[in-house]
Amino acid sequence: MTMTTGSLTVVTGSMFSGKTEELIRRVCRALYARRRVQVFKHALETRPDVEGIRSHNGNPHDAVAVSSSGELLEQVARDIDIVAIEEAQFFDDGILEACESLADNGYEVISAGLDMDFRGEPFWPMPALLSVADEIVKLRAICAVCGREAARSQRLIGGEPAPASAPTILVGAEESYEARCRHHHEVPR
């Protein structure tokens, strides 16, 4: 009897680092290899449209919107090889157990999400996912100020850095965020 080995890959980095692009690239490669793939995103992510994901470069892919890790598990089809999860940082704490359970049951899981919030602090539950991942892909963007590599997401309000007191979750793109290096990342206290 052959036992299927599952795995957990976590793709992480700041806004505009190419996380979704990498997730879509891996999904497309798997489909080309005739693997069966199911893509999920958190229902909070409504930028491109309700039923799909889209990288900042404009590359789209179909995805099922779910509101919780439990709902995600309920919708995973038995005949799937790969489960891809976009915007993992928006999920509840159960996403860790869900990803581990899927991997333990033979699925290849690819999860993408921000590792830090706009304050530069760990964006839960990503640290937990990173700690149990079989593979971690950490991507960087380009600092909007100096052009160096950037690993932080700068939230902007009216073109100025958002204060630390701002809500942690604000779904947005270029209108609300830009990539910044450690030196140019600002969080007024």
Work out the burial of residue 20: count CB atoms within 10 Å of its CB; fewer than 13 is exposed, 13-18 middle, 19 or more buried: buried
Instruction: Write the single-letter amino acid at 91.
Output: F
Structure tokens at 140: 């960087």
> Could you please report the per-residue DSSP string of 87-134?
-GGGS-THHHHHHHHHHHTT-EEEEEEESB-TTSSB-TTHHHHHHH-S
Q: Which residues sit opposite 41 in a β-bridge?
A: 65, 86
Which backbone phi and psi does 42 adopt, to 5 degrees?
A: -75, 145
Instruction: State residue 69 phi and psi, 5-degree precision.
Output: -65, -35
- Reported in sequence order, the residue ranges of the chain that DSSP labels E, i.e. its strands, are 7-13, 37-42, 52-54, 60-62, 64-66, 82-86, 108-114, 135-139, 141-142, 149-150, 152-157, 160-161, 177-180
Q: Is 21 a catalytic residue?
A: no
Catalytic residue among 45, 86, 87, 108: 87
Q: What residue type is 38 in one-letter code?
A: Q
User: Where in the sequence numbering do the catalytic residues fall?
Assistant: 87
